[in-house]
Chains A and B, each alone.
Chain A
Amino acid sequence: MLLKVPKKSDLSENLVTPKDVYLQRRKLLKTLGFLGTGALLSSPSAQALNWFSDDEKPFKTSPLSFSKASDCTTDETLTPQDKITSHNNFYEFGTAKSDPKENAQSFNVNPWTLSVEGLVEKPLTLDYDDLSKLFTLEERIYRLRCVEAWSMVIPWIGFSLAALIKRAKPLSSAKYVAFETLYDPKQMPGQKSRFVGGGIDYPYVESLRIDEALHPLSMMAVGLYGETLPPQNGAPIRLVVPWKYGFKSIKSIVKIKLTDKQPPTTWNRLASNEYGFYANVNPDVSHPRWSQASERRITSGGLFNQNRIPTLPFNGYEEVSDLYKNMDLRRYF
């Protein structure tokens, strides 16, 4: 007979804080934090929305079948899933990092239409099922470097952007690829109110040069950590360009258009002195308001575990440097 003598340090199931109690504590804390010191104001847009989103059922993700890309692994520690899905810049759902998770749970991704159009021989229209069935899915572990100088390591699931573009047979006159996020103010509170959406003109648009888009590292992601994407991370399909700052990796895409002229991009349009068209990760070119020489890696652990590490050119993906031969990357930042 096996007798199990519990060690003093062993935790039993009944010691675990129930999730709802834990969440309640966090909510109380938020209120405390802002009211306790005599809040004159707490984040108005975000808070107002929180009250309503509390009864929302969490968005349902589903498991994906995929292979592991052997050349896209890493020995770096992965950022925990709950951090990847609760720390998001997706202003369509509010400007605070926690807003997208709080406000996006009822986001509807099925039905979905993604069109590939413009300077192509064979325009395409993909529906929701096509997104995960038309191409073989693989897992790629990429570093994600935000322009705000924090970073994560994320196991994405998806396929090459090149595969999608080639399927539409691009014309030789196509020089750029423009991307567009869904515009649906009914579902996206940030598009309905300028105050919630951070004063951005929607829909959010992004763009790559055609050779950047066709680079094997450029990826269309439909999942992370083995499951379909939650809305806060850009469900049902998003771009991932790991050598560029995170804002280039546009979320919840409905349109991809090949063009011969350089298309506008959202952050560049908002502040062209701060955010360039290229937005390649570059430790030598500071943001006008903060240094880009190093970054804080978001992993598990408390205040002392958020390590500051040096930022690498092209976020460590040196193989893309050929795309920018003879270009002054200080000028084209």
Chain B
Amino acid sequence: MKFRLIQQHIFYLKIIIHLSALVPLVWFFYLGFNDQLGADPVKEILHFTGISAFNLLLLSLLVSPVAKHFKQSILIKVRRLLGLYAFVYALAHFLSYILFELQLAWQLLISEIIKRPYITVGFSAFLILTLLACTSTMWAQRKLGRKWQTLHNFVYLAGVLIALHYIWSVKSDILQPAVYWGLLLFLLFFRKEKFRQLVKKYKKRLA
């Protein structure tokens, strides 16, 4: 008999996602506050939350290609959770930057967002994720109707901005950010038909 995911599997999968997202987050901050994260706990927290946010976003983008390929449409039900945790980690990343890196130097925050391209793109991605998280409820989905899908297509732009944020933030060791670019482009490749349609629609509107 062919394997089929059922509601109960999704339930367990969600529990696993909750645990594996929340436990490390709490644990890392606990260690950070107790000076057990190496010489520079601030950098460590920033890297951990940033990379994890990107990992979760890529995982959320992986859901629909996997569901399609293995014909397990019910899997889509975990996508929102992954997306929301990507936002939670991005929020922790942004708050850590303000609290521990800049230490509430608001003027510096504003000038960095404006002047530094890698901060500008990172911040833009954060705004997009915030917007998507806020409109992730069923209620918002109903309320927004067809606009909801258009809005949530911005997740692809967020992915690109995050990859830029990452590669522009390193000094010379671009290997890891480059691999992340590869993963992102691989996941975007599955959507090439969708992008073609979007471009077509946009052109029509211009004409």
Interface positions of A (Cβ within 8 A of B): 26, 29, 32-34, 36-41, 43-45, 82-84, 86-87, 91, 95, 97-98, 148, 150, 195, 198-200, 270-271, 286, 289-291, 293-294, 296, 298, 300-308
Contact of B56 among A34, A37, A293 (CB under 8 A): A37
Contact of B105 among A97, A198, A294, A304 (CB under 8 A): A294
Tell me if B179 and A41 are in contact (CB < 8 A). Answer: yes
Interface digits, B22-33 against A, CB 8 Å rule (1 contact, 0 not)?
Answer: 011001110111
**A303 CB, nearest partner CB in chain B, Å:** 4
Find the A residue at minimum CB distance from B45: A303
**A97 CB, nearest partner CB in chain B, Å:** 7
Tell me if A198 and B24 are in contact (CB < 8 A). Answer: no
- Given the known interface contacts A41-B176, A95-B173, A148-B171, the answer about A36 and B40 at a Cβ–Cβ threshold of 8 Å is no
A304 neighbours in B (Cβ, 8 Å): 33, 100
- Given the known interface contacts A291-B111, A305-B35, the answer about A38 and B56 at a Cβ–Cβ threshold of 8 Å is yes
Tell me if B175 and A294 are in contact (CB < 8 A). Answer: no
- Given the known interface contacts A199-B172, A289-B117, A293-B108, the answer about A302 and B34 at a Cβ–Cβ threshold of 8 Å is yes
Tell me if B39 and A97 are in contact (CB < 8 A). Answer: yes
Tell me if A40 and B58 are in contact (CB < 8 A). Answer: yes
A300 neighbours in B (Cβ, 8 Å): 35
* Complex A-B: 17 CB contacts under 8 Å: A33-B28, A37-B55, A38-B59, A40-B55, A40-B58, A41-B183, A44-B176, A97-B38, A97-B43, A150-B40, A150-B43, A195-B175, A270-B172, A289-B118, A298-B39, A302-B32, A308-B101
B163 beta carbon closer than 8 Å to chain A: no
Find the A residue at minimum CB distance from B101: A296
Tell me if B33 and A87 are in contact (CB < 8 A). Answer: no
Tell me if B40 and A298 are in contact (CB < 8 A). Answer: yes
Find the B residue at minimum CB distance from A26: B36
A29 neighbours in B (Cβ, 8 Å): 27-28, 31
- Given the known interface contacts A39-B55, A40-B58, A290-B112, the answer about A86 and B38 at a Cβ–Cβ threshold of 8 Å is yes
Tell me if A199 and B174 are in contact (CB < 8 A). Answer: yes
B168 beta carbon closer than 8 Å to chain A: yes
Find the B residue at minimum CB distance from A82: B39
Find the B residue at minimum CB distance from A87: B39
**B40 CB, nearest partner CB in chain A, Å:** 6
A45 to B34 alpha-carbon distance, docked (Å): 28
Tell me if B38 and A98 are in contact (CB < 8 A). Answer: yes
Find the A residue at minimum CB distance from B175: A195
A84 neighbours in B (Cβ, 8 Å): 39
Contact of A308 among B36, B58, B96, B105 (CB under 8 A): B105
A291 neighbours in B (Cβ, 8 Å): 108, 111-112, 115-116
**A149 CB, nearest partner CB in chain B, Å:** 9
Tell me if A294 and B117 are in contact (CB < 8 A). Answer: no
**A226 CB, nearest partner CB in chain B, Å:** 19
B126 beta carbon closer than 8 Å to chain A: no
**B121 CB, nearest partner CB in chain A, Å:** 12
A44 to B105 alpha-carbon distance, docked (Å): 35
Interface digits, B78-121 against A, CB 8 Å rule (1 contact, 0 not)?
Answer: 00000001000100000010011111010010011001111000
Tell me if B101 and A37 are in contact (CB < 8 A). Answer: no
B21 beta carbon closer than 8 Å to chain A: yes
Tell me if B180 and A37 are in contact (CB < 8 A). Answer: no
Tell me if A36 and B112 are in contact (CB < 8 A). Answer: no
A211 to B189 alpha-carbon distance, docked (Å): 57
- Top 9 A-B residue pairs of the complex, sorted by shortest distance between their CB atoms: A87-B39, A83-B39, A95-B173, A36-B24, A198-B173, A37-B52, A302-B33, A302-B35, A303-B32
A302 to B39 alpha-carbon distance, docked (Å): 10
Interface digits, B149-182 against A, CB 8 Å rule (1 contact, 0 not)?
Answer: 0000000000000000000110111111001100
Tell me if A303 and B175 are in contact (CB < 8 A). Answer: no
A26 to B41 alpha-carbon distance, docked (Å): 13
Tell me if A97 and B172 are in contact (CB < 8 A). Answer: no
